Structure 1
């Protein structure tokens, strides 16, 4: 039987200290999988340290290692997209370069794929390696997103997953430039199997996602797959209008019955600042969607490849 081919995609951004660790852990796992060929697609996302040089050195020693060099930092979503675009395997696995997601699960993913699964998800059942704040905000994000948007995103499932060639080809058909990959994975569907695992602590390097970056990432997720955040301001505006009409009628009747009272500074100040804040927030939310339309209409490429190695 002809061996199947696996493409392993790993985005790298300033992971120079972890390149050796990555290959030391990945190579034995891939060699242990029976009747399979593989390629490792490493995407350097504009690293400013020696990540690229280290990756090139491995590609020169091993023809199964391919290195994609971006012209600058385009972000992880673009790096994963580039990896999917150049991959050639019947099965494709995305894994983070820090290997907090266990490479040992790859063999089980391959087995599930051979048994008929088109998508095999890795689900984190223990996130004790993350901070309490990150665990809490992640839980809030999944709950809020799945109430507001469709399709629903599996909770505690990151980018670590296997996809068949049919799934990858479907993802490549999606044209948007502002890409929220977790949502796109869920949107294409296909027959899915989930494997649970415990996420390990990071051995080398440090996370590249700040709290502000994670907030922007969550906002990207909401606005990519739901118009509810902008629609809710219609309801808020309607509710405030009704309350204002009721209050206006109350003031009119009170004036007829008791005469005109001297208006209070506090009530005027509250009304102006409250309504002004509502207007600013609603305009900002509207701007998020207009901004997405603006970026999409430019039709700029998702990424630019400076050079390919091997």
Structure 2
């Protein structure tokens, strides 16, 4: 029997004949879609297994929706998911994983920096018992030294302060077993840092190193501000260390203030030196004001996350789904997802 079939979960959705799903989130990637499709289908065809490509359009404003719609109508192995607007990559990944029906699910970016030719190696690791196969970047061609250095230090900082060990130097390029997919679907938070969620489920994980390539076409959609925001999202989603740091800073500032006050009093009583009020007063007010504003801002960030979670809005909304060249009723799809969750999450509770 095919090793992929042996690993199927008994509660796989109705498209249980699909052995491998490949999820590709896209946002303004019109230039690279054709090349991406050709390389993926070449690799997947050579595997001689049943597969599907789940292409998720995250509210693109170029020709991406038309391109993947055309592909979906020509190739019955493609499921095209169109989100109602741009919800961000984490939401697009969530949508792709929830629409994937394969026994194994591979996540890969459209820019081909992550070589599709590594998928057979990932499948081999999965056949050997791994529920999650992480792809660790050994090198990052086509990226500036600043981006490489900041990414290197960020992952190590995050692991230092996080309660969950998140594999360093890994992106979203990975394989998930059906068990891992069901486990992920139990995590309903709205503020999603997917790399952390992949690690949080704690299932058997294998790490494979590879060399990352430059973009095949187009330009990156991530600027430094966006990467900084994603990094802060990861830190605040998986650690309360910043709150403890601010509390420690407040205690240290208070202690220094007491010592400074004692020094001024002692100096005035013993040496008769009059207190120079204005400079010291302004300095103390500035320092304390800065610490207070930083503390309030950090508390506000965590409170804001609670605010968004309390509203219980969906992570994403779907405008349309094309499956086997035909439009799928979204409400029916949502009912199917709800049914899957109720029936298959019980073993993980």
TM-score, normalised on structure 2?
0.86
1:237 aligned to 2:231? no
- Alignment correspondent of 1:185: 198
- SS of residue in 1 equivalent to 2:250: helix
User: Which of 27, 30, 33 is 1:16 aligned to?
Assistant: 30
> Please, which of 112, 126, 131 is the counterpart of residue 139 of structure 2?
126
Contact (CA 8 Å) 2:268, 2:275: kept in 1 or not?
no
Among 87, 90, 97, the alignment partner of 1:74 is 87
Quote the residue 1:105 is aligned against: 118
How far apart are 1:265 and its partner, in Å? 3.3
Which of 154, 160, 165 matches 1:141? 154
Where structure 2 has 5 or more consecutive residues not aligned to the other structure, the ranges are: 6-18, 324-349
Once the two structures are superposed, what CA deviation does each residue of 1:155-189 show, in whole Å capped at 9, x if it has no partner? 11100000100000000000100100000000001
1:264 deviates by: 4.8
CA distance in 1 between counterparts of 2:52 and 2:194 reads: 22
Corresponding residue for 1:199? 212
What residue number does 2:56 align with?
43
Q: Distance between the aligned counterparts of 1:243 and 1:237, measured in 2?
A: 10
CA distance in 1, matches of 2:25, 2:40: 14
Between the aligned partners of 1:286 and 1:128, the Cα distance in structure 2 is 38
Deviation at 1:94, TM superposition (A): 0.2
Distance, in Å, in 2 between the alignment partners of 1:126 and 1:234 is 38
**Aligned partner of 1:115 among 125, 128, 131:** 128
* In structure 2, distance between residues paired with 1:68 and 1:89: 16
What's the secondary structure of 1:97's corresponding residue?
coil
Deviation at 1:153, TM superposition (A): 1.3
* Secondary structure of the structure 1 residue equivalent to 2:50: strand
Segments of 4+ moved more than 4 angstroms = none
Question: Is contact 2:264-2:275 (8 Å) kept?
Answer: no
Which residue of the other structure, out of 158, 179, 182, is the alignment partner of 2:171?
A: 158
Between 127-136 and 300-309, the greater mean CA deviation after superposition: 127-136
Cα drift, residue 262 of structure 1:
4.5
Distance, in Å, in 2 between the alignment partners of 1:260 and 1:252 is 10
Give the Cα–Cα distance (whole angstroms) in 2 for the partners of residues 276 and 7 of structure 1: 53
Task: Please provide the CA RMSD for this pair.
Answer: 1.2
Tell me, which stretches of 5 or more residues in structure 1 are unaligned?
A: none
Shift of 1:259: 2.9
TM-score if structure 1 supplies the norm length? 0.97
Question: Counterparts of 2:250 and 2:130 in 1: how far apart (Å)?
Answer: 47
Q: Secondary structure at the match of 2:183?
A: helix
The worse-fitting range, judged by mean Cα deviation, of 236-245 and 265-274 is 265-274
| Paired residues of 2:135 and 2:170 also in contact (CA < 8 A) | yes
1:248-287 matches, within 5 Å, as: 248-259=261-272, 261-287=274-300
Partner Cα distance (2:41, 2:222) in 1:
27
Once residues 224 and 303 of structure 2 are traced to their aligned partners in structure 1, the CA distance between those partners, rounded to angstroms, is 25
Q: Figure out how many residues of one structure are paired with residues of the other and give that number.
A: 309
User: What is the CA distance between 1:198 and its match in structure 2?
Assistant: 0.6
Decide whether the 8 Å contact of 2:132 with 2:204 is kept in 1.
Answer: yes
CA contact (8 A) 2:21 2:54 kept: yes
- Pick the aligned partner of 1:303 from 308, 312, 316: 316
Between the aligned partners of 1:73 and 1:206, the Cα distance in structure 2 is 18
- The residue that corresponds to 2:74 in the other structure is 61
